[in-house]
Amino acid sequence: MSRVPVVSIIDDDASVRIATNRLVRSLGYVAHTFSSADEFLRSSEINDTSCLIADVQMPGMSGVELQVFLRAQGRDLPVILITAFPEESVRTRALEAGAICFLTKPFDGPTLIKCLATALEKAGYRT
């Protein structure tokens, strides 16, 4: 693929959205941010998204529920889930549902960059 990857970032915490957005853009990718799964699902960016970074715990639909919903709709987007409240059962469910990574906040930049590379390779991009 020759087009620039589009990474959608969904987190109800504005500071996490801003920091993750900056990191993703610094890598040369296009980034879009959303404060909820519902906001992302209503957006036109859903069709252009190459990779999704989503918080696990958000008001309304959780990141894991979003991942399952997208798969049920036939959208096989690579998903990176992030959480401030790591629970092994949620981690297991997310990874079994196909999440590329399950990161605990605060996570470091190099770890997210490695997860993004894996996710984008799965989506057909060369990183």
**What does pLDDT average to over the chain?**
94
Longest dimension (CA), the chain: 38
Domain range enclosing 102: 6-122
39 occurs within a structural domain: yes
| pLDDT at residue 1 in the model | 47
In a domain, 96, yes or no: yes
The DSSP H or E segment spanning 80 is strand 79-83
pLDDT given for residue 127 in this prediction: 67
In a domain, 109, yes or no: yes
pLDDT at residue 97, rounded to an integer: 86
- DSSP state for residue 76 in the 8-state scheme: -
Q: Which CATH number covers residue 68? A: 3.40.50.2300
77-121 pLDDT, tens per residue? Answer: 999 999 998 889 999 989 998 999 999 999 999 999 999 999 999
Q: Does residue 34 lie within any of the structural domains?
A: yes
- Asked whether 34 and 58 are in contact (CB, 8 A), the reply is no
Flag whether 127 is in a domain. no
Residue 1 domain flag: no
List, for residues 1-12, the tens digit of each pLDDT value: 448 999 999 999
* Residue 52, domain member (yes or no): yes
Looking at the chain, the whole-number percentage of residues with pLDDT higher than 70 is 98
CA pair distance 95, 42, nearest whole angstrom: 25
- Percent helix, percent strand, percent coil in the chain, to nearest 5: 45, 20, 35
* pLDDT tens profile 37-67: 999 999 999 999 999 999 999 999 999 999 9
Instruction: Quote the number of domains for the chain.
Output: 1
Domain assignment present for 29: yes
**Are 98 and 71 within 8 A, CB to CB?**
yes
Q: Span 32-38, mean pLDDT?
A: 98
